[in-house]
Chains A and B, each alone.
Chain A
Amino acid sequence: MSILASDARVIDGTYFDGRSARGVAARLVACANGRCDLQMDDQQRCIDMASVKVSARIAHIPRRIDFSGGGHFETLDNDGIDALQIQHAQHPGLVQWFERQWKVALSSLLSVVLVAVLFFTFGIPWLSQRVAQVLPVSADAHLGKGVLEILDGRLLKPSTLSAERQYQLQQRFDEVIRNQRGAGNWQFELRDAPIVGANAFALPGGTVVMTDQLVALAQHDEELMTVLAHEVGHVRRRHGLRQLLQGLGVSAMAMAVFGDVTSLSTLTGVAPALLQAGYSRDMEREADTYSRAWMQQQGIAQRRFDDLMCRLAASHGSQSDSKYNYFASHPAISERARCTQ
């Protein structure tokens, strides 16, 4: 072997002519002037290395050299091909160098984790907000359309409050939205909800629903107004649309990371659910902030919101109020309101 100088390296492999599946044992010998000799049993071909296509190196898998006239040479001698490429001033790709270094792999891992954390905490909420700004306000209304009809058939019944009381509450709602300019079609709905209990919610586009049970729980109309302001905050900040957009972002990321382990598609659904709950809690905080700023502006005491929240928590029982409930859609009550008891 010592007769062969380093610039005349021999690469053993197989030649296929591309017309039949029959391979021929072959060897590639580098020679001068950017040419190689392809030697087979009974023949020898002179190959111009500038005219061939060398496949990129990936781990241990066989390398192939495709010849311009058809046919290819296949070999497991990856190092030999690399040496040949360097000799002919062709550079092996950067990616294949990355993949061979454990150091690179581990730093990639750290970077991916870092980027993912940053992206999920800041990137997705920011992006959804930007996209929501671009979309017309009518998109919100379309999202909310039909939702109330569906709920009416199942969870909600017509309000049992007197017409006079309903009128009073409508006045309160009008007071809350009085200074809300240009944001959708405001609509106030009262419903009896024996299953849902004391609650209020906003549909994208501007429909705010309040249950009789919540009205009964309140000891002062200003308390109800703080909750209405909270719901108006959801609408104004376009939380419905943003939630939809964030959901899309999260599932796209989950697909990118785990997409090739198809049997786990159900399992990877858990992570998006966790993240969505996290975003939902952030939105509740945003709506709370909105409501508290509104109270400040209107000269309504902050304790009105606290009082109703605490009574609400007590009426719902405290089993769901855990600081460590990562699937919860709302933040813990101890974070949202100051309770006296």
Chain B
Amino acid sequence: MSIDNTDSVFDAPAPVTAPRALPFEFRGSGSEYFRIWIVNLLLTIVTVGIYSAWAKVRRLRYFHGSTSLEGHAFDYHAEPVAILIGRLITVGGYALFLLAGQINPLLNLIVVPLLLVGLPWVILRSRRFHLRMTSWRGLRFGFHGDYKGAFKAYILWWLAATFTAGILFPVFLQRRLTYLLGNSAYGSQRAGYDVAIKQFYAFYGWFILKALGVLILAAVVCGALVATTGSGAMGSAPVSGTLAAVFFVAGLLVAGIYQAGQLNLAFGNLTIGPHRIESTLSGPGLAALLLTNALLIVITLGLYSPWAKVRLIRYQLAHLHVIATGDLGDFTASATADDSKALGDEISDFFDVDFGI
């Protein structure tokens, strides 16, 4: 950040650098990803789904490798075979569950408590696997959350939120994000996530007000539309189609506001050592992107989806910065043994859902 670089090189003690904003650069493109996507798809179909594990690794390596910070890209290291085993176990388990439920509905009663006990474990393992498999500058990310923490955050607080008719829902989300993000690590450096509950209540309060505003606006627009065309036209296809479109747009706007707000709340408060992350997504901006993506995907019968994915990632990364204080090269590797081959990690690819944010 110094104005004259050539002079400062010779200053003997390196001055304490002022915080500087480092962008995440994204070099992926729709035309590149289209080719990866379509080849993945074809090979997955031809191999009756077996290739999907390799496809997932190629897809994630492409997106990680296209994202760089301070000139260095991220990388993804998972072994496709581990993912394949996880997927086979999942498919087998799911089929078993469906069959058991059809043949004897009583078995469904056992599955629910089993899921409640098993879910925190799956979340923990999935998170650990995903972070361990991600690297930047030769250092792996990591996750230090334990089962007890996952059970409390995901099951107990979720139950509490449910039984209080949602009043405790912001607390549940605060616990969830604190568990997921606060237990993350880069090399030996633990991440920090410390957000007061009242910030979550403020976010949800504003969100509910904004959502109500959007829905009232949509209702007013629809009311005006019906009034001008006459109530008899309600049943006609163009009018009901327009009404549906208005509510679809309103729904996307609400979804955009929610997602943007939650991502800002999550990443915007994350710290790693002396550095912190800044997230400045805007709800309407994200909603506009989701809307145009959806329209283009429908118009192109799905062909646009690789471009849509690239656009979404590019947009999200453009609003994410690392506010670095000091040298990002100061991180060191974690001393803990690499047990990334443990059985649980394979199963953790389970639902293939990112339990992320």
B38 pairs with A21, CB closer than 8 A: no
A71 pairs with B36, CB closer than 8 A: no
Known: A20-B331, A256-B44. A142 touches B32 (CB 8 A): no
A59 pairs with B62, CB closer than 8 A: yes
Contacting A at CB under 8 A, from B144-164, are none
Return the CB mask of A7-20 against B: 1 if under 8 Å, else 0. 00000001011111
A-binding segment of B131-139, B262-270, B340-348: B131-139
A4 at the interface (CB under 8 A from B): no
Known: A21-B329, A71-B138. A14 touches B72 (CB 8 A): yes
B-binding segment of A171-179, A187-195, A261-269: A261-269
Give bound CA distance, A271 to B30, whole Å: 23
B325 at the interface (CB under 8 A from A): no
A119 partner residues in chain B, CB cutoff 8 A: 45
A60 pairs with B138, CB closer than 8 A: no
Return the CB mask of A238-256 against B: 1 if under 8 Å, else 0. 0000000000100000001
B52 at the interface (CB under 8 A from A): yes
Give bound CA distance, A59 to B33, whole Å: 8
Q: Which of the residues A98, A111, A139 comes within 8 Å of B103, measured between beta carbons?
A: A139
B-binding segment of A81-89, A102-110, A333-341: A102-110
A216 at the interface (CB under 8 A from B): no
- Which of A21, A22, A62, A98 has the most C-beta atoms of chain B within 10 angstroms of its own C-beta? A21
B39 at the interface (CB under 8 A from A): yes
Minimum CB–CB distance from B262 to chain A (whole Å) comes to 13
Closest-by-CB residue of A relative to B332 is A20
B41 at the interface (CB under 8 A from A): yes
B136 partner residues in chain A, CB cutoff 8 A: 21
A3 at the interface (CB under 8 A from B): no
A58 at the interface (CB under 8 A from B): yes
Known: A18-B138, A98-B39, A256-B44. A64 touches B75 (CB 8 A): yes
Q: Which of the residues A105, A112, A248, A260 comes within 8 Å of B35, measured between beta carbons?
A: A105
B39 pairs with A105, CB closer than 8 A: yes
Closest-by-CB residue of A relative to B41 is A112
Contacting B at CB under 8 A, from A102-140, are 102, 104-105, 108-109, 111-112, 115-116, 119, 135-136, 138-139
Contacting A at CB under 8 A, from B9-64, are 27-28, 32-36, 38-39, 41-46, 49, 52, 54, 58-59, 61-62, 64
Minimum CB–CB distance from B293 to chain A (whole Å) comes to 7
B290 at the interface (CB under 8 A from A): yes
Q: Which of the residues A62, A101, A109, A261 comes within 8 Å of B65, measured between beta carbons?
A: A62
Minimum CB–CB distance from A126 to chain B (whole Å) comes to 14
Closest-by-CB residue of B relative to A76 is B73
B102 pairs with A142, CB closer than 8 A: yes
B293 pairs with A61, CB closer than 8 A: no
A261 pairs with B305, CB closer than 8 A: yes
A-binding segment of B173-181, B194-202, B214-222, B294-302: B294-302
Give bound CA distance, A95 to B41, whole Å: 12
A267 pairs with B52, CB closer than 8 A: no
A212 partner residues in chain B, CB cutoff 8 A: none
Return the CB mask of B173-194 against A: 1 if under 8 Å, else 0. 0000000000000010000000
Give bound CA distance, A56 to B298, whole Å: 33
B308 pairs with A21, CB closer than 8 A: no
- Which of B33, B139, B290, B302 has the most C-beta atoms of chain A within 10 angstroms of its own C-beta? B302
A108 pairs with B41, CB closer than 8 A: yes
Known: A74-B72, A100-B35, A261-B297. A21 touches B65 (CB 8 A): no
Known: A61-B65, A95-B58. A264 touches B39 (CB 8 A): no
A72 at the interface (CB under 8 A from B): yes
B44 pairs with A260, CB closer than 8 A: no
B234 at the interface (CB under 8 A from A): no
A58 pairs with B137, CB closer than 8 A: no
A105 pairs with B58, CB closer than 8 A: no
B98 pairs with A138, CB closer than 8 A: no
Give bound CA distance, A20 to B329, whole Å: 7
A58 pairs with B36, CB closer than 8 A: yes
Closest-by-CB residue of B relative to A14 is B72
B331 pairs with A21, CB closer than 8 A: yes
Give bound CA distance, A258 to B329, whole Å: 38
Return the CB mask of A90-101 against B: 1 if under 8 Å, else 0. 000001001111
B66 at the interface (CB under 8 A from A): yes
Q: Which of the residues A14, A60, A74, A264 comes within 8 Å of B294, measured between beta carbons?
A: A264
Known: A62-B65, A99-B35, A261-B305. A21 touches B139 (CB 8 A): yes
B98 pairs with A248, CB closer than 8 A: yes
B62 pairs with A22, CB closer than 8 A: no
Across the A-B interface, give the 3 residue pairs with the lowest CB-CB distance, nearest first.
Answer: A61-B65, A16-B138, A22-B329
Residues of A within 8 A of B (CB): 14, 16-23, 55-56, 58-62, 64, 71-72, 74, 95, 98-102, 104-105, 108-109, 111-112, 115-116, 119, 135-136, 138-139, 142-143, 145, 248, 256-261, 263-264, 267
Q: Can you report 13 A-B residue pairs in the complex whose CB atoms are below 8 A from each other? A: A18-B139, A22-B329, A55-B75, A56-B58, A61-B61, A64-B75, A95-B54, A105-B34, A108-B39, A109-B38, A258-B302, A260-B59, A264-B297
Beyond the given A14-B72, A142-B102, A256-B45, could you list 6 further A-B residue pairs with CB under 8 A, ordered by the A residue number? A16-B137, A20-B329, A59-B62, A111-B42, A260-B305, A261-B312
